[in-house]
Amino acid sequence: MNSITTKWYSLIRISRPDPGRVVAEVEVDADSPWFSGHFPGNPILPGIAQLGMVMDTIQEFGHGEWRISGIKKARFKQMIRPNDPITIMTTCRGENPASYSFRVMVKGQLACTGILIAEGA
């Protein structure tokens, strides 16, 4: 898949390695509004932006216009800076088809983990 640019990040590649699992490679340009003011001279990608990319990844493969209804066990472990290569991995949790565990990796290092609960819009 070619790079697709959204309003604030570029989707480089997305795949479904097996049922219930989606992997996306993305990049956020330095001129993204998320970096404006967060923080001047030391820009980092806010957690809410990371969660938005996780939700976009889930929606990409057949979940239409869902919205986040809950987040559990979210842990932010590594800062994401402008133009860092980011990999987002989501896995449907068997007990609830609207519940996904996720991992956000930056430069091969774990940046964020958690469980995202979604519901139809």
71 pLDDT more than 70: yes
pLDDT at 69: 87
- 2-55 pLDDT per residue, tens: 455 556 899 899 999 988 899 999 999 998 889 888 888 899 999 999 999 999
CATH, residue 110: 3.10.129.10
The two beta strands, 21-27 and 10-18, are: antiparallel
Catalytic residue among 12, 23, 38, 87: 38
- Residue 31: CB partners within 8 Å, gap ≥ 6? none
Nearest-angstrom CA–CA distance, 102 and 3: 22
| Number of domains present in the structure of the chain | 1
What mean pLDDT is predicted for residues 72-86?
Answer: 95
Has 63 been annotated as catalytic?
A: no
Q: In this structure, what are the phi and psi dihedrals at residue 48, rounded to the nearest 5 degrees?
A: -65, -35
pLDDT at 46: 95
Segments forming the whole domain that contains residue 114: 4-120
> How close are the terminal C-alpha atoms of the chain, in Å?
27
pLDDT at 1: 43
